[in-house]
Structures are given as C-alpha cells and as structure tokens.
Amino acid sequence: MKNHPVMDFLKQRYMSMNRRRRIYEGKAKILYEGPEPGTLVQHFKDDATAFNAKKHAVLDGKGVLNNRISEFIFNHLNAIGVPTHFIRRLNMREQLIREVEIIPLEVVVRNIAAGSLATRLGLEEGSPLPRSIIEFYYKNDALNDPMVSEEHITAFGWATPQELDDIMALALRVNDFLTGLFLGANIKLVDFKIECGRLWEGEMMRIVLADEISPDSARLWDAKTNDKLDKDLFRRDLGNLVDAYTEVARRLGILAEGEPVASAGPKLVQ
C-alpha cells in the first residue's frame, strides 16, 4: 500500500482536517483557520445558551438549521449589495467567511417592544415602537454585555464616529430588508442582533456584516398568532426550539415540506 494515490489522498485529507487550527470558540460557534489567507471556517454547534451561558443545552440539529438560515439571509444581503463576511456554505455545519476584525459591539435593532427593552421601560411585549430603535451593547461576557451609548463607543475607541455611522446605516438596511423577507414568510421581525467587522482590502477598510443572523439572534413571531419561532422558546422554556427553527426554514423555502434536518450532518467530536 506504500504510496498508493488513494491512501495518500485520504491521509492528506485526514491530516489537514485534524490539524485545522482553531482560532476562536464561542458559545454556539467555532472559527477555524480557512483554506486561504484572509478566510476562516465558521462552524455551527448544537449548543444553546441563555443568560450569559447560565442556561445551557445541546439541541440536536440547531447548528445545521442556523447554518442554513444564516446562509440564506447572508446570500440575499450580498445580492442586494449589503457587504458581509459570508462567502459560501461548505457543508451541513460550516461556512467559508472572510476574516474580519470584529467590532466589540452587539448592535440590536428593535421594531416591536420585547425582551430587555420591554422589561427596562415597562412596555408591554408586542407593542409596536414609534420607530425602529438601535441599541448598542459592549461585547464582554465578564461584564454581562452592558448597554452602552455612542459616547462610550467613541470615547473608548471601540469604533470611530464614521464607523458608527456606517454600522447604523448597515443595521437599518438589514432591518428593512429582513422585515420584508420575513413578512413574506408570515413572520414578524420583532428585533435582532448583528455584529460588524472591519474588512481590510489592502489599504482600504470597509465595515461589513459578520457573525450570523438566525433565530438564535432574532425574535421571530408568527404574523397571525404571535407564536414564538426563536430562541425565546429555550430561554423561557416555552416549547421545542428545533421544531420552531425547522418551521422558519420551511417558511423561507430553505427546506422542502417533509425534508428532515434534525440530526443531519456530522457532529463535532470534542
């Protein structure tokens, strides 16, 4: 078997898969070194966390669904000219992305009162807001992602005023587009969170959409019944998360009727 071409191929493939360098591991995703400089592989895990990981579960199929839903959304955004880090989906759990310098902010856009806004201001969940509202949270687990203002962001240098303008314009474009996309699937986009990054192309730098957009990072309600189709099902123990995410994928036309997704795709061996 020495120097057999098939063995060589398998050996090389096995070695390169094993040696893939882990760049970063978060609560729901892992970033690996990509096949070319300036690229990364974003791997979606089945882990679900809430309340800064105080609550944790592994939900079979969640990673596969978020990979597909986020791919669908980022492809549409790329197509309408919203700059993103997304290149293409690689397999059931992974996508190829451009390496960006993540800006340490969670940018939340809200259309309807819910979650922490409803609690903080004593609003009834479900009441429409007078206009879309953008909020910023400083990404820092040790501090529990505190809410911050534009003043904090520019004073501490997390982003420049020009970058903040770009981030807000991008967030509103994403909101306008996604509101329509989801409404066409009989879903209300209540709120969502995005993260942005700096993409360097030689001397040029652009702010692009990074991370993911999925029912983990958005509140999605059935347009007629207001039934929740997002991670609040898990946060508040209200029902089956994987069934709801499957329903979102079906309504967006990502999954055909009856096509199974749960437990599809190889799992990560930890």
Part of the chain binding ligand TMP (CB under 6 A), chosen from 81-89, 107-115, 169-177, 256-264: 107-115
Q: Is 196 exposed, middle or buried (0-12, 13-18, 19+ CB in 10 A)?
A: buried
Shortest distance, position 32 Cβ to ligand TMP, whole Å: 22
Contact yes or no for 87/97 (Cβ under 8 A): yes
Shortest distance, position 257 Cβ to ligand TMP, whole Å: 28
Shortest distance, position 112 Cβ to ligand TMP, whole Å: 11
| Binding status of residue 97 toward ligand TMP by CB under 6 A | no
The C-alpha angle 260, 97, 92, rounded to 5 degrees, equals 15
**What 3-state class would DSSP assign to 256?**
coil
- At 249, the amino acid letter reads A
Shortest distance, position 1 Cβ to ligand TMP, whole Å: 50
| 126-165 binders of ligand TMP (CB under 6 A) | 145
Tokens of 57: 């579960």
- Identity of the residue, 28 or 255, whose beta carbon is nearer to ligand TMP in the bound complex: 28
| 60-89 binders of ligand TMP (CB under 6 A) | none
- At 2, the amino acid letter reads K
d(CA 80, CA 73): 11
Rg of the chain's alpha carbons, rounded to an integer? 19
The C-alpha angle 93, 98, 100, rounded to 5 degrees, equals 115
- Identity of the residue, 41 or 108, whose beta carbon is nearer to ligand TMP in the bound complex: 108
- Identity of the residue, 190 or 199, whose beta carbon is nearer to ligand TMP in the bound complex: 190
- Phi then psi dihedrals of residue 12, to 5 deg: -60, -45
Per-residue x/- mask for ligand TMP, residues 240 to 259, rule CB under 6 A? Answer: --------------------
Closest residue to ligand TMP, judged by C-beta, is 115
Shortest distance, position 191 Cβ to ligand TMP, whole Å: 4
- Identity of the residue, 34 or 66, whose beta carbon is nearer to ligand TMP in the bound complex: 66
Among residues 89, 88, 84, 34, which one has the least CA distance to residue 64? 89
Per-residue x/- mask for ligand TMP, residues 187 to 226, rule CB under 6 A? Answer: ----xxx-----------------------xxx-------
Tokens of 143: 């501090």
Among residues 142, 118, 116, which one has the least CA distance to residue 129? 118
One of 115, 123, 168, 250 touching ligand TMP (CB under 6 A): 115
- Identity of the residue, 74 or 192, whose beta carbon is nearer to ligand TMP in the bound complex: 192
Burial 234-251 (b: 16+ CB within 10 A, else e): bbeeeeebbebbbbbbbb
Where on the chain is the footprint of ligand TMP (CB under 6 A)?
Answer: 108, 114-117, 145, 191-193, 217-219
